[in-house]
Amino acid sequence: MKLSMISVLCVAFGLPVLVSAQLSGTVGPLTTRAEKAATKVCNILDYGGVASATTDNSAAITSAWAACVDGGEVYIPSGKYGLGTWITLTGGSAISINLEGIIYRTGTAGGNMIYIEHTTDFEFYSGTSAGAIQGYGYQFAEGIFFGPRILRLYEVTDFSVHDFVLVDSPQYHLTLDTCTNGEIYNMVIRGGNEGGLDGVDVWGTNIWVHDVEVTNKDECVTVKSPASYIMVENIFCNWSGGCAIGSLGADTAIFNVEYNHIYSQNCNQMFMIKSNGGSGSVYNCQFNNFMGHTNAYTLDINAYWTDETLAAGNGVEYYDLTFNHWHGTCADGDERAPIQVLCPSEVPCYDITIENYYIWTETGDEELYKCENAYGSGPCLNDGSSYTTYTTTYTVTTMSDYSYTTMSGEISSGLGITESIAIPTIPASFFPSITPYSTLLG
């Protein structure tokens, strides 16, 4: 997918962007960063803020927000700023946060360090692409106390979040909860090598997530229910749990979702759709141009995912799903099948398409494909419309054209949970040979 010159100019100046494919309309703020700043600038240093990594700046940020809530820019200058009390920023329109400094967590409560709700025409960015939020999550991993998420947006409309870094969250890093017309891009998320440290979780409608790198041991970029018209592109899962849809339960409602150009190395999976029981449906979704290596699972649709508590219902209905152009390797294709489509007999999967699929094992000289009650076109899927119960496992002994290109900056082991994670810089690319849609502001 290419952006038109008009779209490129919209991105450069912070205007809403109209993207094709699975989105339903424009995404991003309604007014530019310059227009917001021209209305009013609320520097947190003018509201009691102190450039100190050990001073609690929550009151200053909250006061600056209140002063600019009807239009303007909350400005956090270059420097170090402690955050000991979590902040909730409510309401407002035509408002931005320009994070030029680094915020360091000093508080110990659970919840959300920064929680933004019921806001429209909103932008959270770093004008130099050097801003960051450091969560010091390793301290929670040591069992000292239970910790917060870094950033959560709730019922925010016409917004963007971009050009800064989230590091070492004690829980999830970035959550978009029931948001609309949003764009997330040019970000790096670095978390510890354990579960519960999701990179980006998104549910809502008409949201574009692109050009993002995630390191952790849980979700990379994941769509949750309910969600529709979600586009996820140019994602670098750099030692992560991998991308997913789920976990899904009762009344699932996910449709018109596309993942495109996803690079995964040393991940739990390249992509997984996961449920255990439940109801509702996931349909009209595409998963194109996946590449990577040394992943445990690869393409994994699992309606019996026992890591999730069994939900009420016979199962989530999966249909009209396409997987096209996958290249690379898996760690051990005989132990963990690189194609696994497991669906319940009561609610079989159908209209599934798997094509141009070239994944080979790094261990041994054969790999398995496993399908259960799954219908469509592709390896181990049954064709036809008579959905009788079946289970198939067969062995693949040769594979051609599974070559892949490695990414600059691949890490060789998960990041520790006993010491602080360093704040990285944002890379120049998030998928081999693909230029990011938006140039870094810095």
Identified catalytic residue from 158, 168, 218, 300: 218
Cβ(132)–Cβ(103) under 8 Å? Answer: yes
Active site includes 293? yes
Active site includes 218? yes
Provide the 3-class DSSP secondary structure of residue 233: strand
Q: Is the peptide bond before 20 cis (omega within 30 degrees of 0)?
A: no
- Whole-number CA gyration radius for the chain: 22
b/e 149-183 (16+ beta carbons within 10 angstroms → b): bbbbbbebbbbbbbbbbbbbbbbbbbbbbebbbbb
Other Cβ atoms within 10 Å of 309 Cβ, number: 9
CA pair distance 175, 198, nearest whole angstrom: 9
CA pair distance 350, 383, nearest whole angstrom: 9
Cβ(86)–Cβ(63) under 8 Å? Answer: no
CA distances from 43 to 84, 91, 99, 120, 169 (A): 19, 19, 11, 21, 26
Exposed, middle or buried, 312 (CB in 10 Å: 0-12/13-18/19+)? exposed
Query: Does an H or E element contain 59, and which?
Result: helix 58-68
Q: Please report, in angstroms and rounded to a whole number, the separation of the first and last CA atoms in the chain.
A: 25
- Residues noted as catalytic: 218, 293
